[in-house]
């Protein structure tokens, strides 16, 4: 059996991460990167990697076993997901939680009509965190589930502070409140307000002449984004921003706190500490690309989520090896 031939659609943070993740998987091979931009404008780590126009992707359907969709959830995937599911077995990291059912339907229809298989909403949240929540609720029905995020860079909140008048550049970190996590771990099952679960920290570079007090007020009172949280604003210079805030760390905790039998406290916890959110998310996508190829090879068609994928399918090892090594 040949190495699984993988295509990458879209070359942003996730696309770059997928190239790096594939290099660590000997059973898979990067067959090409597809982009909407001029192919010659992209710089790949290996200059021999074919870079092709996304518009021509269908012509390469016999050269690609699985296409990893690395477009943005807001504008790219709603179009690219159903479109590419016509031609390829796909995996994607669609993460607009409220719209997942609708997106699933669109991809499912396209994949089914053309005999392909697509795993949607892969990553860590949605993704690995979703699996942890499901397992916790199935095993401890008398309980409560808590998700804490961070410490992590939030793209949406960083964009929001950059839109404030007087702000030249900035980043926002979401930080879980340690006291809240401790209460949950102790089995208290507390009712926690938004403010009690997370706080927000902003690092902001001002436009020349901007009033720091005014900028801070505009940020901390911003409805939806900051008003319901304790928010700290730190004014820094451009060099500090470039030096200390260029990474994209993230992570978090899913905790299921429940009771069994004669009301013993039981806690299940899954946590991630990510040096790079996109590089990790791409690594999850690559493992699910392997599973997608196996499911498609077994004759499955239509859309799936992480809930439908057996864990053994993620591993490069055979079921026999897994029983010996990991059970
Ligand atoms: P990017 O903005 O980096 O890339 C999105 C697309 O934009 C790319 O596919 C690329 O398409 C285009 N693009 C990238 N860089 C440039 C550029 N310099 N100029 C013009 N176009 C560019 O997004 P990310 O890779 O960071 O994230 C993609 C999605 O992943 C996010 O929207 C998010 O929803 C999801 N995600 C999901 C997670 C999960 O846990 N489920 C976790 C993290 C992210 P093209 O090459 O065709 O131009």
Please report the ipTM that was assigned to this predicted complex: 0.98
Q: Which atom of ligand 1 is nearest to the CA of 70?
A: 9
Calculate how far, in angstroms, residue 12's C-alpha sits from the geometric centre of ligand 1.
5
Q: Is 252 in the pocket of ligand 1 (CB under 6 A)?
A: no
Q: Whose CA is nearest to atom 13 of ligand 1?
A: 12
Question: Exposed, middle or buried by CB within 10 Å (0-12, 13-18, 19+), for 20?
Answer: middle
Q: Which atom of ligand 1 is nearest to the CA of 71?
A: 9
| Average pLDDT value for the chain | 97
Q: Whose CA is nearest to atom 18 of ligand 1?
A: 12
Q: Which atom of ligand 1 is nearest to the CA of 16?
A: 25
Calculate how far, in angstroms, residue 68's C-alpha sits from the geometric centre of ligand 1.
12
Q: Is 70 in the pocket of ligand 1 (CB under 6 A)?
A: yes
Q: How confident is residue 297, by pLDDT bands cut at 50, 70 and 90? A: very high
Q: How confident is residue 53, by pLDDT bands cut at 50, 70 and 90? A: very high
**Stated pTM of the model:** 0.96
Mean pLDDT, rounded, for 222-251: 97
| Closest listed residue to residue 235, CA positions, set 324, 291, 143, 164 | 164
pLDDT attached to residue 1:
65
220: its two tokens = 């901390």
Q: Is 39 in the pocket of ligand 1 (CB under 6 A)?
A: no
Q: Is 285 in the pocket of ligand 1 (CB under 6 A)?
A: no
Calculate how far, in angstroms, residue 14's C-alpha sits from the geometric centre of ligand 1.
6
Q: Is 125 in the pocket of ligand 1 (CB under 6 A)?
A: yes
Give the Cα separation of 186 and 191 in Å (integer): 14
pLDDT attached to residue 58:
98
299: its two tokens = 């004759």
Q: Whose CA is nearest to atom 9 of ligand 1?
A: 10
Mean pLDDT, rounded, for 16-36: 98
Query: 130 and 308 in contact (C-beta within 8 Å)?
Result: no
Mutate to test the pocket of ligand 1, among 10, 98, 287 (most ligand atoms within 8 A of CB): 10
Calculate how far, in angstroms, residue 15's C-alpha sits from the geometric centre of ligand 1.
7
Helix ranges (DSSP H) in the chain: 13-22, 77-85, 100-114, 128-139, 155-162, 178-185, 194-197, 212-220, 238-244, 277-297, 319-326
């Amino acid at each position: 059996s040949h190495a699984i031939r993988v295509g990458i659609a879209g070359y942003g943070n996730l696309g770059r991460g997928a190239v790096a993740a594939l290099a660590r998987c000997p059973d898979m091979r990067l067959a090409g990167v597809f982009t909407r931009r001029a192919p010659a404008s992209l710089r790949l780590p290996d200059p021999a990697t074919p870079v092709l126009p996304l518009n021509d992707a269908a012509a390469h359907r016999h050269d690609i076993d699985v296409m990893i969709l690395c477009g943005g959830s807001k504008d790219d995937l709603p179009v690219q997901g159903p479109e590419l599911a016509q031609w390829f077995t796909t995996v994607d990291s669609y993460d607009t939680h409220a719209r997942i059912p609708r997106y699933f339907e669109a991809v499912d229809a396209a994949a089914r009509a053309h005999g392909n298989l697509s795993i949607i909403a892969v990553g860590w949240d949605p993704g690995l965190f979703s699996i942890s929540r499901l397992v916790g609720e199935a095993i401890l029905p008398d309980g409560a589930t808590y998700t804490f995020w961070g410490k992590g860079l939030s793209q949406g909140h960083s964009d929001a502070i950059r839109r404030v008048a007087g702000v030249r550049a900035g980043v926002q970190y979401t930080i879980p409140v340690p006291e809240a996590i401790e209460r949950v771990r102790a089995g208290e099952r507390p009712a926690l307000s938004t403010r009690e679960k997370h706080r927000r920290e902003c690092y902001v570079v001002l436009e020349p002449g901007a009033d720091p007090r005014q900028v801070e007020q505009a940020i901390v009172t911003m409805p939806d984004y900051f008003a319901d949280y304790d928010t700290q604003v730190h004014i820094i210079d451009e060099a500090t921003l470039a030096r200390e805030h260029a990474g994209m760390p993230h992570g978090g905790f899913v905790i299921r706190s429940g009771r069994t039998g004669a009301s013993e406290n039981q806690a299940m916890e899954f946590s991630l500490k990510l040096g790079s959110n996109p590089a990790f998310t791409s690594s999850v996508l690559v493992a699910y690309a392997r599973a997608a190829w196996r499911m498609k090879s077994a004759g499955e068609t239509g859309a799936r989520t992480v809930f439908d994928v057996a864990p053994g399918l993620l591993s490069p090892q055979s079921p026999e090896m897994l029983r010996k090594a990991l059970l």
